[in-house]
Structure 1
Amino acid sequence: AKCRHVMAYLYVIFFLAHASTSFAQDCMSCRCFDVNQMAYPISDFVDGSPFYVQSISPPMMYNDYDTICLDFIPINGFVNTTLLQVKYTTNDMEQIPVEYIESQIVPGLFSGVGPSFPDYNVQSAGSLGYKDYILTESCPNIYLIYRCELIGRNPGCPMMRKQATVMVISSDRKAQQGCIDNEKVYAEFINEFTDIKFYDLPNKAVNPCSPRPGKMPSGPAPGSADDTNILKITGLLHI
């Protein structure tokens, strides 16, 4: 645990310095669309972790993935700042871990920095800088999030609202479909992401999200892959 906190400090220092350089290099950062975020503190996401991404837009950027896990881990000594561990599981069952530093600006609005993924972004020197707007929680621990990528987005800044990155996440792998659908409707009609298209992740991998101590995993989805099909975890960190 002590080593984790030391590494977290190093991540904070490195990524903040690297992001500052990247922002200076890329003056033409993307602009965020106007939305109405709700005042959810980042501590709610720490307590609810890990989360499963149930649905995400735009589909073309994520249709190679079976599962995306989000784990918000608090960092000692940094108020409202977390180490966000994201684990991508591809449709071939390869697991790719990526880490970000995400902190609360105000309740319902967080900022993050880390590696651009899945593609290395040359203009941002491989960095991704973003803001997460928490739009709603229509059911317990099921959130709608708009991610505004300021730098490092591939294939570039979204010009229309329907091209934005919007996701539905839940702490329960088997989230009720009605709750997920409610979040999609809220995105399109309340926050005016008109004609937005979502990709529903299959979530077939066996226990892709590491549960917190004392917290039971949500369990495999129907028709999930066998353990033997899961490849060795590989690291990907563009620096």
Structure 2
Amino acid sequence: MRALGSLSVVFDLDGTLVDSEPNYYEAGRRTLDAYGVPDFSWAEHERYVGISTRETVADWRRRFGLSASVDELVAVKNRHYLELARTRTTVFPEMRAFVERLADEGVPTAVASGSSAEAIGAILAGTGLDAYLRTVVSADEVAHGKPAPDVFLEAARRLGADPADCVVVEDAAPGAAAAHAAGMRCIAVPYVAAQADAPEFATADLLLGGGQAEFTAHVAWEWLAEAARRA
């Protein structure tokens, strides 16, 4: 019998498992600079945390009056991002410990991310997480990105799990909303501390408002074990 019974765990990637937001910011800054929008700030970038690349660049086109197509902007941003992701992505240590504990205990896991499949693959391979996380769903493979539940429901389908038996680990408000819409429980670890009081996080079953500074593999495991006992 598995340690957590029928529970499966579905991870967001960026800002949850890995600290990739600095890479996304730099890729976005370089892209916008090339199209005549200088001085894109980190504060401006924070509004896009948890939103897919395609939705992000579509908003850029509206905000900055860019004439380039969404497809062109996505391609340029992804090219810059992949250059950074392969060598500059770090895994949050307690998240790595949590993933390894789940693997040791035979708990099914998946990654469901707003990033492209290529970007997800580069990060997982570059950090060694691909040894543990083999079920992967990108926003490109579903009709709608977060806060729609599509990526999480597809991850559950690929795991052969009931959505009600899935626990999502998320750092962003749109992801917490997506988990709730999917009928899944959620451990929320906000990447942007100032967003911890966002209404979407109020739907989380476990909210660690201090973000990664508060998250530990032990706390997450004990919460899952208690959830399994209640089930």
Could you tell me the TM-score, scaled by structure 2's length?
0.29
TM-score, normalised via structure 1 length: 0.28
Higher strand share: 1
